[in-house]
Amino acid sequence: MMKYILALDQGTTSSRAIVFDQDGSIVSAAQKEFRQIFPQSGLVEHDAQEIWSNQLGVAQEAITRAGLRATDIAAIGITNQRETVVIWERKSGRPIHNAIVWQDRRTALLCDQLRAQGLEALFVQKTGLLIDAYFSGTKARWLLDHVPGAREQAERGELALGTIDSWLVYNLTGGECHITDASNASRTLLFNIHTGEWDDELLRILEIPRSLLPEVRPSSEVYGETSPGLLGARIPIAGMAGDQQAATFGQACVEKGMAKNTYGTGCFMLLNTGGQAVPSQHKLLTTVAWTIRGRTDYALEGSIFVAGAVMQWLRDGLGIIRDSAEVEALAASVPDNGGVYLVPAFVGLGAPHWDSYARGSIHGLSRGSTRAHIARAALESVAYQTADVLQAMQQDAATPVRELRVDGGASRNDLLMQFQADVLGVPVVRPQVTETTALGAAYLAGLAVGYWESEQQIARQWREERRFEPRMGEDEREALLSQWRRAVQRSTAWERPDDQGATTQ
């Protein structure tokens, strides 16, 4: 009988479930949004119980929509928003507080204090990460320090800590499994990516009791089975990876030197560096890509804060378009940017700049500038930021990138993808299946149960939808990038840390 793989894709704003067949094609899907909780400016939380309820509901719905039963599912793979953290009571399974989301900035002051103590080099060396409120470790410290009685409970071994993958597996298995995978562990500031273990020195610095932590397991392995009654039969849970690592695997970037870029609200580019954890000299992150069959692959990652969000700003902020989909036609109505450059540093600049005090700006305006030029400059800003990250990656890894595989909403914009290829000077390739995050989780689970034989078989299944070849000459490319870098330089350090106290990080 034909079997299928169920992928659970737990994202920042919605929970999804997708059923895949052996060709890696989508059979059915279900999705449900959940509440975003903003206690005050800069704070972002989720109701972990709501996430669990939603994720279970869409899993049941996806199986039903496909006309299947639980016995038709060979395995479940999980992918998740990576740095969001939950602490719950082991006995009751009840969270002690809302989940603190990766976007939350409440621990920025603690991060400042850690850096002032000269600890950043230690964290970078052991974890591959910069000290930043983005990551899970300082969020866990905040929960222990601010939820009444939490630290005492933790010291008594009564609490469990995890990122969203751990929370889902704990609930799916009825509390039998408290685990995470190496890719998610590598985003916590608590995990030594070289030894593959939780690091006692970092745990001591952040005052996190080791008893709280999940067991770190490979990204592809049978961890346990779903509890009876949840889905109609017990199904093996066999794959886990953080969302960007899962997307990299779903894009079949399984060989050293292969890279993918996901165009969402921001952009996340990962370059596979094989079995070597390459230290970055250009403010990129070194992260675990996945651990499979005893081998750990690593990646360099560059995070761009504003990509698709700049299109939303054109719509909601400037009002020059009614729908984000209109930006391609408007930008294409002029032959070039007319000398206009837009730096979308609305919340500072991410990799490779990491400037919290940069702010958005538009340069090169003249009386001849139109809303079409601004739209084109906004579109091009996404490609320029990606070019900055790719250049840093190639310098760090000393590995030429032969092509860039792309996914995410903005990857469907043909004008942007062609311009991306032009400013990179390498082909940009869009796959037929763009749900690469869920597909990566499915592949990891399927490998563990023999549904797919090997990474090589998965790589052969990857199918190209369109390839954008670079058409721009070297002189034109360098002239455009030079002007872009001038614009970025004028946007950096725009605000001062003491401006109304609002920008202190």
Annotated binding site: 12-14, 16, 82-83, 134, 243-244, 265, 308, 312, 409, 413
Distance, in Å, from the CA atom of 464 to the CA atom of 105, rounded to the nearest integer, reads 39
Residue 177 Cα to chain centre, angstroms: 24
Cβ atoms of 314 and 378 closer than 8 Å: yes
- What is the DSSP code string of 38-91? -SSTT--EE-HHHHHHHHHHHHHHHHHHTT--GGGEEEEEEEE-SS-EEEEETT
Distance, in Å, from the CA atom of 360 to the CA atom of 403, rounded to the nearest integer, reads 30
Terminal Cα distance for the chain, rounded = 57
Cβ contacts of residue 341 below 8 Å, gap of 6+?
362, 363, 364, 377, 380, 381, 483, 484, 486, 487
Helix (H/G/I), strand (E/B), else coil: 363:
strand
Cβ contacts of residue 166 below 8 Å, gap of 6+?
86, 160, 178, 179, 180, 184, 214
Q: Which segments are annotated as binding site for sn-glycerol 3-phosphate?
A: 12, 82-83, 134, 243
Distance, in Å, from the CA atom of 362 to the CA atom of 360, rounded to the nearest integer, reads 7
Q: Which segments are annotated as binding site for ADP?
A: 12, 16, 265, 308, 409, 413
Cβ atoms of 239 and 220 closer than 8 Å: yes
Cβ atoms of 430 and 387 closer than 8 Å: no
Tokens representing residue 136 in the block: 């899970």
Cβ atoms of 406 and 430 closer than 8 Å: yes
Q: Which segments are annotated as binding site for ATP?
A: 12-14, 265, 308, 312, 409
Q: Which segments are annotated as binding site for glycerol?
A: 82-83, 134, 243-244
Among 194, 191, 451, residue whose Cα is nearest residue 298? 194
Counting beta carbons within 10 angstroms of the beta carbon of residue 450, is it exposed (0 to 12), middle (13 to 18) or buried (19 or more)?
exposed
Backbone phi and psi for residue 476, each to the nearest 5 degrees, phi listed first? -65, -40
Distance, in Å, from the CA atom of 30 to the CA atom of 62, rounded to the nearest integer, reads 5
Q: Which residues pair with 165 in a beta bridge?
A: none
Distance, in Å, from the CA atom of 421 to the CA atom of 402, rounded to the nearest integer, reads 11
- What is the DSSP code string of 254-276? -STT-EEEEESSSEEEEEEEET-
Backbone phi and psi for residue 367, each to the nearest 5 degrees, phi listed first? -65, -20
Tokens representing residue 444 in the block: 């990891």
Cβ atoms of 160 and 212 closer than 8 Å: yes
Residue whose pair of structure tokens reads 């990962």 in the numeric block: 270
Measured torsion, CA atoms of residues 166, 167, 169, 174, in degrees rounded to the nearest 10: 130
Tokens representing residue 296 in the block: 């750990």
